[in-house]
Structure 1
Amino acid sequence: MESFQEKINKLLLFFVIYTISFMVFFKTLPYTLPFVLALICAYLLRRPTRYLINKFKMKASLASLLTTLIFFTAIISIFSLTISSIINEIIGLTKLIQNYINTNYYNILNIFSKLQDNFNNIDPYIIEQAKNYLLSSISGILNSTVNIGSSLVGYFINILSSIPYIGMVIVFTLLSTYFFTKRISLRDIPLLTSAINNKNSYKILEIFNHAKKMLLSYIASYGFVILISFAITLAGFLILGVNYALILSILCALFDLLPVLGMPLIYIPLIVYNLFIHNYFIAIGLTILYVAVFITRQIVEPKIMSSSLGLDPVAVLAAIFIGLKAKGISGMVFCMFLVVFYNIFKKTEII
């Protein structure tokens, strides 16, 4: 019977090893990125490659070359078109917001003049302070819009300016994917365990398979949660007739990855904008839509994550909350994978 002290020692050892491994992986990722991406791509391409080998009696080298080239051509084409469309939409949306605020600046002043005429009993000083606060807020919104738009466009331009590095990563990833795909397609066991030939190989293979399954489940589950938020937002925007519904929905999905701020960065300016142009129905609709998306996410995320990963819902909630509170997105990833790997080692009876 294992003693309590031995269990504590195993847990402490697991935590230390996991923390060191986590930090080493992400610290060295800039240097190992092409090979990590290549392993992921090779895993995705192994079945199509095996299909070509078995169905058309191709050599592994030719089948791997075909699947790798087709896969990368499709990915690069889709990525290029998406980036180009997003940049054009951001530029158009930024100009629209700037033009609207500049055009309706004096209309906003007239609103306060009418308010002052209708509420003569209110201290003029209060009206003046409220007007100054609103104007400064509008100026802040305008500057923030310009800054966000410029930052996003600048970010994409910086990516383009890093083309030599990106090109090098793509080339090394492509070549590594080809070689990894060729090796994996000829084997029935994972690449990481193919060279192991000792009594612990079965245990390592078991851990690897559990880790692979749970990692894929985690990515699929989190992607599905974001997809739900995107779908509800897009459907709501289209029903309400919001302009730039697609690009705004994509931005909401991307910002949904950010803790606390996230989607309000898109919803709040839209609600304020519609209030100013007296589209109260749309403003109220957007408010209800945001509340619906927020509640849906809070209900669905722990349930989907826990059911797909086989984890306790309370453990998932605790990992998300503690991680976000401690270190934002990186803290949440750390805590989630801590729970995931603990569950893996528990199932394989290592701890």
Structure 2
Amino acid sequence: MERLLLKRIGRGLWVISSITLAVYAIYMLLPLLYPFLLAWLVAYAMNPFVGLLQRRLKLPRWLAVTLSLIVYVGSALLILTAAVTRLVKELIALTQSLNLHMDSWIQWVTAWTQNESFQSIVNEISRFYQNNPNYHDTINQNISKTTETLGTAVTELISGIFNGILQVIYSLPNLGTILIVVLLSAFFLSNSWERHNRTLLKAVPDMVRKPMSTIVSDLKKALFGFAKAQLILISITGVIVVIALYALGVKSALAIGLLIGLVDLLPYLGVGIVLVPWSVYCFMTGNLPLAIGLTVLYSVILIVRQIMEPKVLASSVGLDPLAALFGMFVGLKLFGFLGLIIGPVSLVILDAFRRANVFRDLRNYIIGGRVR
């Protein structure tokens, strides 16, 4: 009995050590292999189009792959250029709008500081200074510390922005090299797709091939499902925002609605980054109809997101709504904002391993020394 228990403990330690070693190897090798993983994804995405060109136009494989790369890369560059151009135009328009409203904002701040409520607060502070001279130095020290802290924070923020810009500029040659490696690797992989697949399958043992196929199939379905779920949620948010802004009479409602829909990609914060400050500003400037409308719009979006997100995520990824909600909550607690993505994806991966009977096989190996 003790011998059997020792064997089970040994096999359990062997399984844990193997899993730990595999995770560590992936962690160490990923920075070296990620261009080739990206190339594999590009080649996988191009394969249907390559096959279509071969069947319809009777093109040789290398020419079909070359045309597919040109179409895919050209489309990506076209979309990226259009998006950047649109973003620059919106930023220029926003800057011009801020300049036009700057005088009115200055007048509003001046008028606010001269009203009776603000002046009464100033008078109360002055009276407190006069009646409590002992607190004068303490208050001045706290104000100096607060000012110094704010100055340091602003300096760090500006330095961080400039450092980020410099890092992007410095990384451009490296990004160009990586892009060339990805494109060349994608060409070679796609050009000899079947041969590379046969070589890879031969290197995988038979007992691992079937579970791996099931896991890859489930993860592929979940990956595309997650992307589809996010697209659906963003589209719903964008449509609601555009309709509401048109109803509220906001200028450039379509462009603003589309930008707010994209901001909805940010986990947890979402459209609140735009709508909450906007509604507060409208309240403070006296534009109560727009402020109330934006507040109602934000409330509607929150309610719709809370109702739709678990259902859409569950139907697209293949998770139970309760499990999806559980994964999002646990991920948020453990990893912060990114946990809203990490949590459901982790559940999908675990469910893919369960469907492939990986946990059952590991249990059978630890207890009985056999996989099946």
Quick check: TM above 0.5? yes
Whole-Å separation in 2 of the counterparts to 1:17 and 1:111: 64
Whole-Å separation in 1 of the counterparts to 2:199 and 2:227: 21
1:61 paired with 2:70, answer: no
For 1:242-321, what aligned pairs fall within 5 Å after superposition?
Answer: 242-321=250-329
- The TM-score normalised by the length of structure 2 is 0.72
Whole-Å separation in 2 of the counterparts to 1:102 and 1:24: 60
Alignment correspondent of 2:89: 88
Give the Å deviation of 1:29.
5.0
Whole-Å separation in 2 of the counterparts to 1:99 and 1:155: 30
| Aligned sequence identity (%) | 27
Equivalent of 1:205, from 189, 208, 213? Answer: 213
- Matched letter for residue 172 of structure 1: V
Give the Å deviation of 1:178.
1.5
- The TM-score normalised by the length of structure 1 is 0.76
Say how many residue pairs are matched: 320
Larger displacement relative to structure 2 (66-75 or 157-166): 157-166
1:170 paired with 2:179, answer: yes
Larger displacement relative to structure 2 (263-272 or 198-207): 198-207
Larger radius of gyration: 2
Give the Å deviation of 1:161.
5.2
1:52 paired with 2:79, answer: no
Whole-Å separation in 2 of the counterparts to 1:299 and 1:325: 20
Give the Å deviation of 1:105.
1.6
Contact 2:113 2:119 in 1 (8 A): no
Contact 1:211 1:344 in 2 (8 A): yes
1:225 paired with 2:233, answer: yes
- Residue 323 and residue 59 in structure 1: after superposition, are their counterparts in 2 closer, same or farther (change >3 A)? same
Whole-Å separation in 1 of the counterparts to 2:243 and 2:202: 48
Alignment correspondent of 2:351: 343
Which portions of structure 1, spanning 4 or more consecutive aligned residues, are displaced by more than 4 angstroms? 16-20, 23-30, 111-114, 126-129, 153-158, 186-192
Q: Deviations over 1:129-182 (max 9, x none)?
A: 8xxxxxxxxxx9xx99xx89x95x996786455321222222122112222222
Alignment correspondent of 1:42: 43
Larger displacement relative to structure 2 (70-79 or 271-280): 271-280
Give the Å deviation of 1:281.
1.6
RMSD of aligned residue pairs (Cα, Å): 3.8
What SS does the aligned partner of 2:331 have? helix
Contact 1:193 1:204 in 2 (8 A): no
- Matched letter for residue 282 of structure 1: L
Give the Å deviation of 1:199.
4.2
- Which 5+ residue runs of structure 2 have no aligned equivalent? 1-7, 126-149, 360-372
Whole-Å separation in 2 of the counterparts to 1:268 and 1:206: 45
- Which 5+ residue runs of structure 1 have no aligned equivalent? 1-5, 130-139
Whole-Å separation in 1 of the counterparts to 2:252 and 2:164: 21
Give the Å deviation of 1:112.
5.9
Give the Å deviation of 1:68.
0.8
Whole-Å separation in 2 of the counterparts to 1:35 and 1:108: 56
Q: Deviations over 1:38-91 (max 9, x none)?
A: 222222211111011112221111101110111101101210221132133224
